[in-house]
Structure formats: structure tokens, C-alpha cells
Chain A
Amino acid sequence: MKRKIIVAILAGLVIASLLAGFVGCGQQRLKVATTTSLYDTGLWDYLEPIFEEEYGVELDILYAGTGIALEYGMRGDVDVIAVHSKAREEQFVAEGYGVERVPFAYNYFLIVGPEGDPAGIKDMSPEDAFRTLYEAASSSFISRGDDSGTHGKEKAIWASAGYDYEAVRTAGQWYVEAGRGMGPTLLMASEMQGYTLTDIGTFLSYKSELELVPLVEEGAILLNVYSVIAISPEKHPGTNIEMANNLIAFLTSPQIQELIGNYGVEQYGMPLFTPCAGAEPQS
């Protein structure tokens, strides 16, 4: 009797599993690895149902830093990637992992910090701001530290300011590596009342949770371009190249470009992205 009950319960759980947990395993799916800064702004949540409706496919969005997204792409675990690190994207395509790099939107990075600005970097150039933070070594700088596109941009600014990144990384307690996505890093910077480099999209969508203000917003180096790249079917024949191309066509189509350009206006009073269908924006 007891065993019958146990067996019945286990069987019930298994049936429930089959019904509930694995719905959708057999459907056509498209896997996209996207940078956390696009995910955290909610842009994908907004576009996903439109794409799914139009193409009758389940869009699986994986959020990861650009470094991990590229790794997923190299391994063929996703069909398409949406990232923001030009040099690495070009290398990715040159090595044959990606078909083509298609820029679809851009915005700018900002250096944000506590309202009081203890290090006094307001309105400096990005390079001067970093030099000041390094010299002062008193206010915390929270780095993404996760090999993401934003982290790559931060390294580029340190290089442009004349520093060796390894030396900065180990310069002292003021330099903090979060090792997390953009949203969590901003929350951490706010909590520690430190400085950080952020894309404007994530900053605006987290603004209500943060006690941070934009301090440095001008500088050609702060340009932030988002591209989408289909994984090459020659490297990984199992990937869904047809649907990946559909997604790229979708993102660069005039209607969706307009939606991207207006995204955030209602909620934040200004757009989070400037659309740039297929063309490299000039800074």
C-alpha cells in the first residue's frame, strides 16, 4: 500500500513535469546571447513578443557579458549574438565564427559617481577623469571586471589615459572588480558611493534605485555601438542560420529601428538607443 502511494506520487510528479516543465522543448527555437546592458534595459523583453509573433519561433534570450556571449558563439551554443565590443567582434568574424558584424544601435558610455563627486572629476575628459581617480586613489572605482564590452571600453580608456591595465587593476583597494553585470555593478557602486563606467541605457533604467549622477558624458571614446552577428553555419552546421538572419533583418528593419529609437522615451523621458541600421556610426 505504502509503496503504491509512493509510486503514484512519483508517477504524478513525472507526469506533471512532462506537462509543465518541458513545454516547448520540441518547438523551433532561436538562441540569442546578448550583452547584459541590452538585457537590463528591458529592450529584449520589449522586442521578443513582436519577433516571435512575426516569425512563429521561440526566442531564447541568454544574458551574458560580451566575453561570455562570444564564447557561447564560438562553441556554437547559440545561433546569434548581440554584443558591443568592436575589435573583438571583428576578430570573431575574421576567425570565421561569425558571418558578418551588423551594427544596429548605439549610445554612449558615462562615468557616474556620487553626487558630491569627492574626486572632482565632473565634466573632465574620460581620460583625465580616470587619471584623477588613479592619482587620488581614495574614491572607489567599481569595474565590471567580467571581460564584458563595458569592461573592454574601460580598459581602452585606461590605455588611452596612458596606464597599463594590470597596474591599475592591482593599484589598491580603491579599484574594485565586481565581476557582475551592468545593473548589479551600478547597485554596488551606489552602495559603496563609488565611481563606475556605465552605458547610458542601463544607467537610466536603474536610475530610480541609484544614488549616482552622471559626471563625464563627453568624449569620442565613449561611443558604444551594439552589433548583431549570426554564427557561421560553416563552423557550426547545427545552428539555426535561417532564423538568425531573420532576426538580423528584423532588428535592422525600418519599423523595428523606429521602435528601438523610441524605446525608453515614455519611461525615462529620453531614448536609450540611437538606431543605426547596418551602418557604423561616426563619433
Chain B
Amino acid sequence: MTELWEGLVTAVKLIISLDPEVMEIAGRSLAISATSSTIAALICLPLGAVIHSNKFPGKRTLINIVQTLFSLPTVAVGLFVFVLFSRAGPIGGLDIMFTPVAMVIGQVILISPIMLGLTISALSGVDKAIADTAISLGASGLQTAVITLREARFAVLAGLIMGFGRAISEVGLSLMVGGNIAGFTRTITTAISLETSKGDLELALALGIILIVIALVINLVLNRVQQR
């Protein structure tokens, strides 16, 4: 139990003193996850709208598959990205193994199903009459999609937050394709993993608390945006 208390004290100290190493790691965690979330959102919002607004054979199956991929194990995605981008792999010449770029690619793969699936279900919750009205008033397909997305913004945003949360909290993928290189690919979660293996439980707990604080700040900001 003393570890929990000391972890909390250490976390507060590290945050107040703006410990440069911790700030750097936290900044990197945020940067990588924000980038992958943005990319995933740019893919999933339009794609979700397209899937939602079109009828095609196998739509139900596709949605089932997307929802199944919510449970993608992070290490499996890590292994996939590793095998793909390793120099001996099919696209190894890009030389991105053990860089933040590989981590972003992995995280986009990891969180896209969540963002896509939740966007589709958010859109399904919108009253069909809204889309019909828009169309009858002469809205184009794109305009209709934007109107529907705007109508579902609370649920859509929840999906985006969920995806971001999964990106910033995962560790298996980052360890495998990032390699936890100090000053380059070390994020909060991989640092926690390393500090735990070193037996420095207080620092590991402190980093965990800092991660939660970051998530809290992000959520508060996004919630404010939602309520406007």
C-alpha cells in the first residue's frame, strides 16, 4: 500500500516540478496518440458516413467484422506492423521500424475499427427523417452526410475519444514497433513497463497517474467543445 501513496506523491512532485524527462515522455505519448487519432478520424468519419448511407450486400457482415476488430490485441497489431515494415519484410525499404512513424501506423490500424464502428452506430441513432428532409430540400449526398454527422456529434465524439483512449493507453504495440528507445520512441506506457521491470514501482505508478491526468484534460477539453 505504501507504494500507492508514494506513487501519488511522486506523480504530484513530477508534475509540479515539470520534470523535463517526464514532460518529454508525456508530450511524446500525447503527440503520437493525437496524430494517430487524427489520421484515424479523417479515415473513419467519411468512411463511416459512406457505409451508413449506402445499402449494399454484406453490410451487416462488414459491420460485424468491424465490431469484432474492436478486440484486436495490441501485440497482434504490433506483430503485423513489425512483419510488414521490418527490413526483411515486404515494405521494409521505408526504414521506419523502431520510429514514432511505425507506432502511429500501428495505432491507426488498432483504433480505426473502434472509430469506424462507433461512427456507424452513432449515425444509425440519428432520426432517418433528418436525412430524408435534407434530401427533399435538395441537399447533395455529401451535405446530407455532414448534416447527419453533425446531428450525431455527441456519439461520434465519444467514439473518437474512445479511439484516442485506446491509442494512448496501449503498450504492446508501442513496445514492439517502437522499441522503447529513450528520447525517441519512449512513451508513458512503455516507460511504465520498463520502470516496473526495474522494480521502480513508485515512478511507474506516478507515470500511470500522469497518463490519467492527460486523459482527463483531453476529455474536459472535448466535452467543452461538445457542450457549445
Residue of B at shortest CB range from A36?
A: B197
| A240 shortest CB reach to chain B, Å | 10
The answer to whether A77 touches B228, judged by C-beta atoms less than 8 angstroms apart, is no
Contact pick for A77, options B27, B97, B181, CB 8 Å: B97
Interface residues on B, range: 35 or more
Question: At the interface, is chain B mostly helix, strand, loop or mixed?
Answer: helix
Q: Is the CB of B34 within 8 A of A17?
A: yes
A-B pairs with beta carbons under 8 A, tally: 104
For residue A13, which residues in chain B have a CB less than 8 angstroms away from its CB?
Answer: 30-31, 34-35, 38
Q: Select one of B35, B98, B221 contacting A17, CB under 8 A.
A: B35
- For B3, list chain A residues within 8 Å (CB): none
Per the CB 8 Å criterion, the residue count for chain A at the interface is 42
Q: Contact partner of A61 among B27, B93, B181, B197, CB < 8 A?
A: B181
B228 partner residues in chain A, CB cutoff 8 A: 1-2, 5
Please tell me if B182 contacts chain A, counting CB pairs below 8 Å.
yes
Q: What does the 1/0 interface line of B156-198 toward A look like (CB < 8 Å)?
A: 0000000000000000000000011111100000000000111
Given A62-B179, A77-B86, A238-B87; A25-B100 close (CB under 8 Å) = yes
Q: List B contacts of A78 (CB < 8 A).
A: 98
Whether B32 is near chain A, meaning CB under 8 Å from some CB there, is yes
A116 to chain B, nearest CB (A): 22
Other-chain residue from A21, A29, A206 in contact with B199 (beta carbon distance below 8 A): A206
Q: Chain A residue with minimal CB distance to B153?
A: A2
B137 within 8 Å of A (CB atoms):
no
The verdict on B52 contacting chain A, using a C-beta distance below 8 Å, is: no
Binding site for A on B (CB under 8 A): 24, 27-28, 30-32, 34-35, 38, 41, 86-89, 92-93, 95, 97-101, 150, 153, 179-184, 196-199, 221-222, 225, 228
Instruction: Other than A9-B221, A25-B100, A76-B92, give 12 A-B pairs with Cβ distance below 8 A.
Output: A13-B35, A13-B38, A17-B34, A21-B30, A21-B35, A24-B183, A25-B99, A58-B184, A77-B86, A180-B197, A183-B198, A183-B199
23 contacts between A and B (CB under 8 A): A3-B150, A5-B225, A10-B41, A13-B31, A13-B34, A16-B34, A19-B31, A21-B28, A21-B32, A24-B183, A25-B99, A40-B198, A45-B182, A60-B184, A62-B98, A62-B181, A63-B180, A75-B87, A77-B97, A183-B197, A206-B198, A206-B199, A238-B92
